[in-house]
Structure formats: structure tokens, C-alpha cells
Amino acid sequence: AQSVAQPEDQVNVAEGNPLTVKCTYSVSGNPYLFWYVQYPNRGLQFLLKYITGDNLVKGSYGFEAEFNKSQTSFHLKKPSALVSDSALYFCAVRDGAGTYKYIFGTGTRLKVLA
């Protein structure tokens, strides 16, 4: 069965500093990996995805993520955090071996301090 873990409930970072939000996954086939962001009282917004190819993928708002197959991780990163990046971030995985079900992690609250 596919699963996703986000080990940190909250990440605090100073504005202008780099940020990392961690995600590890488990699937039986090739993973399709996604990051979403959720602002208060809003739906989830897609940030970026890894399907195949380069391990470093770039997405919206300056975010990027690094796929590491040996560590089964897909950490979200940004070189310089903004206060407006403060939100709830979700990692999701779909097992490429047939199912079209997406499984989400429990989320990490990012707080960027001015």
C-alpha cells in the first residue's frame, strides 16, 4: 500500500533564509510525487510534481523539490523564504503501478518569521 510521511508538524524559518519541508514515501511501483499548499479557508493548490527525469524539479512561487530514490524522499525547498509563504504544505504520492489514487501526508505548517 502507498503511504506518505511528513515528520514535522511545523517548521519555523526566518524570512530570507532557506527552507526545507520534509517528505518520505512508500510505494510498490514508481512514485508520482506532488506538493500542494493550502492557505486558510482555501482549497489545495498544486506547487510541483515529480514523475520522471531530473531529480530536482522546479515549481510555482520559487519552490523546488528534490527526489531521492534511495532515501525514498521528496523534500520541498526554497532558497529564500517569504512571510507570504506561511501556509500548510502537503506532500502526496500516487503509485505508478496502476492505481489513480493519491495519498496525502498529514501536512506541515510553515511559519516564516519577519
Partner 1 sequence: DTGVSQDPRHKITKRGQNVTFRCDPISEHNRLYWYRQTLGQGPEFLTYFQNEAQLEKSRLLSDRFSAERPKGSFSTLEIQRTEQGDSAMYLCASSLIESTGELFFGEGSRLTVL
If binding is defined by CB under 8 A, does position 25 make contact with partner 1?
Answer: no
Pick out residues in 41-70 that bind partner 1 (CB under 8 A). Answer: 41-46, 49, 51
Q: Which of 31, 16, 99, 15 is closest to 65 using CA atoms?
A: 31
Helix, coil or strand: residue 2: coil
- What whole-number distance in Å separates Cα of residue 26 and Cα of residue 36? 18
Give the nearest distance from C-beta 10 to partner 1 in angstroms.
Answer: 11
* Cβ neighbours of residue 80 closer than 8 Å, sequence gap 6 or more: 16, 17, 18, 62
Per CB under 8 A, the list member of 22, 77, 82, 104 interacting with partner 1 is 104
If binding is defined by CB under 8 A, does position 99 make contact with partner 1?
Answer: yes
Give the nearest distance from C-beta 85 to partner 1 in angstroms.
Answer: 19
73 alpha carbon, distance to own chain's centre: 10
Residue numbers at the binding site for partner 1 (CB under 8 A): 4, 6, 32, 34, 36, 41-46, 49, 51, 90, 92, 96, 99-107
